[in-house]
Structure formats: structure tokens, C-alpha cells
Amino acid sequence: MSRHRIALFGGTLAFYLAIVWAVLITSWLVALDWKVMLFRPYQQWPELHPFLDYYVVLGQRGPTAVMVACWLGWRSWRQHTLRPLLVLGTSLLLLNVTVGAVKLGLGRLGPHYATQIGSAEMFAGGDIFPSGHTANAVVTWGILAYLATTPRARRYLSAVSATVSLGVGLTTVYIGTHWLSDVLLGWAAGLLILLALPWFEPLIARTEEWIFAMRERWRERRGGARPAPVADAGPQPVLLPQSMATDGLTAEAVTAPAEPVLPAGHPAAATRARAHGGHPARPGSMPVAPAGVRRPPPHTERGPRAGSPARPMTGG
């Protein structure tokens, strides 16, 4: 996270805590809340009410989450990544945990249920501080700017999300469902979640890898083990004796398919020998040369060579 983002996160957090403290001590901010509430904006400009009743839906979690999820789902499918959807899910989870915990912990009542003028209405069983509509609008529409791929698109989407969230917050004040301080705290809460998302990027990346790994395992388990294809070995080279090599034959000139070596006396040995036009090999005998290969005459250690004159015998 950059220093600029860290500074912005620290400033927003300080503003968040200041709003909470100002409401807890019933400061001038609570008096402003009552002045706006007693002014009753929905009675001052009643012609805006029909339009703002529909506009405030842009801050409701259900409809906005579905719309943004559809858009980010299409992006995930096009880009072959789950990061957009995982970022949205992480932001909504953080929103539910942080905003929901503060709502239930402080228990502030809304303007329509206030019991005493000038009171902060804290710890009375309510759930409107901070404004969930406002925080949800900041987070849901701000995700689009956070996931923008170009600086220009990020600037445009940031302006759109700021306008929508600002309008949603003021609309809740107009119709009287929230105090002004609720809206201020909702803006800060949503912005804190967007600024904290870079810290969760490593976790999002590991989750994406785990999901893809589980998908591959499921595909392998569904498809079953498939045997690997066996390549055709082709003809195997035959090693020639040294005597054949001296006659001008090389190993590349004579090739034959590889045959298994059979033990002596095996019934298949005789069949193979007859197929080659010879006789079964006996242990210790010379191998039968392939057809068409001239084998040199065997060298005998005893007796004269054929065709050589016999040495006369002399008496001793």
C-alpha cells in the first residue's frame, strides 16, 4: 500500500472516530441532527419524494449487489479470473462485519423513533448508526472504480460512485430514516473498507488459486484416469557383429522389429527359427544371420583350412 493511501486511511479513520465521539458526548453534531430532523425536508420539497423513493434503492444491498455482481461476473468470465468477484465478496463481508457490529454495539434510534428532543438516542436498541445504505453505496459502486483497468476509467467511475453515494446518503436524510451524523459515519465506513482492500489482495489471490486447484481435481475425478498414449516405436536397429561391419554393412542398413529374447528350448524359438528359414538356436551356437547377409566361414582352430596344401609329416 502506498504512503498516500496509508495517509488517506489514517485521516478517514480519525474522522470516523471523531464522529462517534461527537455523538457519544451529545455535542453540537447531535444538535444539528435535531435541527435537520425538525426541518422535515420531505415536507419542504414533496415533489421530490416519488423520485427519491426509487433513487434510494441504489444504496440497498440486495439490488446493488446483484447488479454489480452480474457485471463483475461477466468480466471474470471474459478475463478468466475470479478476482473481481472475490474482491466484491470480500468488501461485502467486511461491510457486514464492521458496520453491523457498530450498529448493534451503539444501538442508536432513528429520527422516527426518537424519544427525547436533543438526545443522542444511543444504546436504546436501534441499528441506524452508521447508515448502512450510505456505506453500502460507497462500497458497492466504489468497487467498480477500484477494479478499473485504466486511470481514465478509474477517474470516471470514482466520480460516479461518489455522486451516487452522496445522493443516497442525503436521500435517507430527506425521507427521515437517518440522522445527518449517521450519513457522515456511513461515508467514512465505506471509504475505510475500500482503502483497506489492498491488504486483503494476497488472501484473495490464494483463494483464487485454491478454487482453481479444486476445480481441476474435480474434473480429473469426474473424467477418471486416462492412460497416456503410447508412441509407435518403429523399427529397431539391429547390432551387427564385427565381421559383418568389416564387409561394408552398417547398423543403419539392416533394421528389424525388436523381438523378445526367448530362453533356449522354448517352443516359440523353433517356430521363429523356421520362419527365418533356419533351425532353432542351440546354446553356445552362433546366431543365425538375417537373410541376404553373407556370413564369413567359421574359423576352426584344428585342422588345415580347406584348399590349403597339407603339411607333410616328418619323423622325429
For residue 315, what pLDDT band results from cuts at 50, 70 and 90? very low
* pLDDT for residue 256: 47
pLDDT of res. 193: 95
For residue 272, the model assigns a pLDDT of 57
Mean residue pLDDT of the chain comes to 80
Please compute the mean of the pLDDT values over residues 264-273 and round it to a whole number: 56
Instruction: State pLDDT tens for residues 222-266.
Output: 876 555 555 555 555 545 455 544 455 454 444 444 555 555 555
* pLDDT greater at residue 238 or residue 208: 208
Does the pLDDT of residue 306 top 50, yes or no?
Answer: no
Q: Tell me: the pLDDT tens digits for 60-116?
A: 888 899 999 999 999 999 989 999 999 999 999 999 999 999 999 999 999 989 889
Predicted confidence at residue 312, as pLDDT, reads: 47
- At residue 209, the pLDDT reads 94
Q: How far is the C-alpha of 19 from the C-alpha of 104, rounded, in Å?
A: 17
**Predicted pLDDT of residue 261:** 56
- Does residue 145 carry a pLDDT above 60? yes
* Model pLDDT for residues 4-47, shown as the tens digit of each residue: 889 999 999 999 999 999 999 999 999 999 999 999 999 999 99
State the Cα–Cα distance between residues 65 and 242, nearest whole angstrom.
83
Say yes or no to pLDDT of 284 above 60: no
**Is 168 a residue whose pLDDT tops 90?**
yes
The answer to pTM > 0.85 is no
Q: Looking at the predicted structure, is the pLDDT value of residue 166 above 90?
A: yes
Asked whether the predicted pLDDT for residue 204 surpasses 60, the reply is: yes
- Average pLDDT, integer, range 205-212: 93
